[in-house]
Amino acid sequence: MSYPLKVLVVEAHPDEAEMYSGGTMRRLADRGVAVKFMSLTNGDAGHYQMDREPLKRRRAREAYTAARHLGVLDYEILDIHDGELMPDLAMRTAVISSIRRWQADVVITFNDECPGHLDNRAAGRIVREASGFCTNGNICPEVPPLAQAPICLKMIDYGSLDVHQHDVVVDVGPSIDAKLKACAAHATQFYEFAPFERGFVDEAPTIGDWAAERAFILKYWPEFMYALPAMSGGHQFAESFQLADYGRKTSVEEVLQLFAL
C-alpha cells in the first residue's frame, strides 16, 4: 500500500507518544498517513508494586491497545530497561535502522536540552545524532539509506514546558476522545503509577466507567490535553511541535502543508 506520508514518533517509554502527540497522529492516520511509534525502553520501572518482567509485558499490551485507538500501524518497543537508556552507538544504530525501515518522512521526539526525565532527554539526543546518518549508506549498510533526510520535530513533555516552542499547533479537538482512550489504555501509568507518585491514587476511576476515566485524565493532565495559553488559534484541545535544528531543513509552512490538518 502506498502512503502519502510516513511518520515515526520516537519516545522513551510506552505511553508518551500517545500523551504528547496522540491526537495529531490519529488525525494523520485518519487521512491515510502511516504512523509508527518506537519506544526506546520497555517501561519496566514504571510502577510501585509490579516487578519488572510482568510490568514489561503488561505495558506492551497496553501500548498495542493504545495503537488501535489511534490508527497507529506499528509499535516497536525495544527491550531496554526503563531508567537505563543511554545515547550510545547501539541505540543510535537501532534508531537509524528503524527510521530507514519505516522510510520516515517525519521523525518526532523529545527536546534533548532541558530538565526532566533522563530517558526522555537521552531519546531526544539519540534521534538528534541518528538523523545525520539516515542518508549515509556506509553507516548501518545492512539497511538501505534514505534518499533524503527526514524532517525532525520535537514534541512537548513535562520537562520541556518552559523551553518548548509552539511552532506547529494542531487542533486535536476532532481526535481528543481517541487520544484519551489511548492514554486510558495505559492504566499502569494513568490510573496507578503516576497517581501514586503524585498523591491521588485513591481518586483513580473504576476501569470501564468511561465518563469517569475521561474526566480523571482531563483533570490531572490538563497541560498535555488542553491547549496551553502560549498556543495560538483558539483551540480547546491542541498539541504543538517545535521545528528541530537537525534533520532536513524545513519550515512551519511546509510541515503544515504535509500534515494538511
pLDDT (tens digit per residue) in 156-179: 999 999 999 999 999 999 999 999
**pLDDT higher than 90, residue 75:** yes
Average pLDDT over residues 34-55: 98
Q: What average pLDDT does range 105-120 have in this prediction?
A: 97
Tell if the pTM clears 0.95, that is, is over it: yes
Once rounded to an integer, what is the mean pLDDT over residues 198-211?
96
Alpha-carbon dihedral sign for residues 91, 239, 160, 128: positive
The per-residue pLDDT for 246 is: 98
- Percent of the chain beyond pLDDT 70? 100
pLDDT at position 232: 74
Average of per-residue pLDDT across 57-69: 98
What mean pLDDT comes out for the span 172-191?
98
Residue whose grid cell is 534533548:
112
pLDDT of residue 201: 97
- Distance, CA of 7 to CA of 108 (rounded, Å): 8
DSSP string, 26-47: HHHHHTT-EEEEEESS--TT--
Backbone φ and ψ of 85, nearest 5°: -70, 130
Q: Report DSSP state, residue 160.
A: G
Q: What is the average pLDDT across 237-244?
A: 98
Determine the length of the chain: 261
Q: What is the mean pLDDT of the chain?
A: 97
Label residue 2 by pLDDT band (50, 70, 90).
confident
Cell of 82: 526503563
